[in-house]
Structure 1
């Protein structure tokens, strides 16, 4: 259904330092410790260009064997049935949705955050992400956090 992205769980100690620093900069911005990319990159000691080069490819991933509640984020076009189709992917995968938060659409897209309990999934996490991102009207769909 579109992309062929593969995901790997790798110990932070095995990663090149730049990836760990990009993840830390993203965390600092999400928690409000830093207000800007410039401030976050300066604090972790990387260039803004390095941050932008890797920011979409680096996601912290908590141990999903012990923490089975995963938070997903999607950017959905403001069209009838898009959210319903995404929720159908969750039902098909066996994930149990705990919460759904959708923002009011701005510029034709709405952000949606879905927390789901995933211990009884019959499909892989990658399959769920691929299926959701393959839906017409889904601009972006990714794991926001485990835990």
Structure 2
């Protein structure tokens, strides 16, 4: 694992044309791997240690590992909130209070992501006799034309 990580980080530094000793690193950890089983904790710990070892051996001055949901809140200049992350294959809902994931309140990870949504959109379009050769075209349409309505009732009244 160490060799792969070193090669991975070396490639990143090379492509970005930066020196490792001059860059602090923030590593984001997906919430999907944030369950409380002992094997999951051990696996996370082992991965973090391997990343830390690799980066420190490359002379990186500092490394911080943080889960993606908390990082998203920090990016919005918040420390508390509910983060909904719709990924490629899963959607997660993560409550966070003062920078801490509230596991006891309930972190939800649902096996429904952007890929299934694209497939569902394809089915809806086929029911209306609209078909495309590739999922790429449907994905592009979804990304450019679909949205979540702020006021659902008002949205239904629109003639679109």
Quick check: TM above 0.5? no
Q: Taking structure 1 as the reference length, what is the TM-score of the superposition?
A: 0.28
Higher-helix-fraction structure: 2
Higher-strand-fraction structure: 1
Q: Taking structure 2 as the reference length, what is the TM-score of the superposition?
A: 0.27
Bigger Rg, structure 1 or 2: 2
